[in-house]
Structure 1
Amino acid sequence: MYKRFIAMLCVAAVLCGCERSDPNSPLNLRKTIFKDMLRASEQLGGMLRGRVAFDEHAFAEGASRLDALARRPWQHFPVPAEGERSNAQPAVWQRQARFEDLAGQLEVATAALHGQSQRRPLRASDLQGPMDAVEQACTACHREFRNH
């Protein structure tokens, strides 16, 4: 009985190891970037909505980080290999021009937010419009190209 249990554990360990994906794969790289973007965006949105204390310096740093991140994920969208999992719809590759257009809109929106965050004094009322544009750009792309 004990030997059978050990054998089952070994098989389970091997099978679990097979499910791991390459951390440097395009899928994992873009997922990491998008998660970082989400964390930065949530922090900024939280400051503007009063869920997090507003801090000029932290907001400016977060806007700068979000702007830099917004330019990074697009290079990690090669056509997936057969059997590769992806949260992106096949339309990403079928309608590449539209996907690139929406990516560009996000980059413009994050640049505007970053630019506004460099003006002093920072006021939430001045930042809300650019932050809304960032959130709308994210939503527009997800609506068309992400499997939910």
Structure 2
Amino acid sequence: MKQLLLTVLSCTVLLSPAFAADPVAQRQEIFKQYKQTVGTMAKTVKGETPYSKDEFAKLAAHLDALAQQPWQHFPAGSDKGKTDARAEIWSKPQDWKAAIDKHKTETAKLKQTAAGGDLAAIKAQFGATQKTCKACHDSFRND
């Protein structure tokens, strides 16, 4: 067991610099976490899974933390290779920043609303937050 752990840690250490040098991989990893978190939240909002105030609040807090992360991984020139990012991210930086700011604002509101526990309010704010995701995808992502 110790040998396996040492092997995994060694590989992680060796691969970390390569991963750190690839902004596309970094932002894609964060967006994978987004997808998982939002998917779990959506099931609750749709009534497919039972609502737990504490669990949903944790998910909303995690989403709010994620909302702070991917934007730094869009440096100039990272629109090449395997990415769905549109050139408008770099050619319209003010629009891109406005979309990010709107998303961060709505995600923070979702975190706050989730902490209150009112499921009807949570559903409304989840919808508002999702609209910011869609708006960004429509303008800045090739699907």
Name the TM-score, length of structure 1 as normaliser: 0.80
Aligned to 1:147: 142
- Cα 1:79–1:51 change in 2 (3 A) is same
- Structure 1 residue 57 and structure 2 residue 62: aligned? no
Superposed, 1:1-148 pairs within 5 Å as 22-24=18-20, 25-80=22-77, 83-119=80-116, 122-148=117-143
The aligned length equals 125
CA RMSD of aligned residues (A): 1.4
- Cα 1:57–1:86 change in 2 (3 A) is same
Give the secondary-structure state (helix, strand or coil) at the position aligned to 2:19. Answer: coil
Name the TM-score, length of structure 2 as normaliser: 0.82
One-letter amino acid matched to 1:137: T
The Cα of 1:42 is off from its aligned counterpart by 1.2
Give the secondary-structure state (helix, strand or coil) at the position aligned to 1:88. Answer: coil
Structure 1 runs of 4+ with >4 Å offset: none
For 1:82 and 1:109, locate their aligned partners in 2 and report how far apart those are by CA, in whole Å. Answer: 26
Q: Structure 1: state its 5+ residue gaps.
A: 1-21
Q: Structure 2: state its 5+ residue gaps.
A: 1-17
Per-residue deviation, residues 16-48 of structure 1 (Å, max 9, x unmatched): xxxxxx432100110111111111111111101
For 2:72 and 2:40, locate their aligned partners in 1 and report how far apart those are by CA, in whole Å. Answer: 25
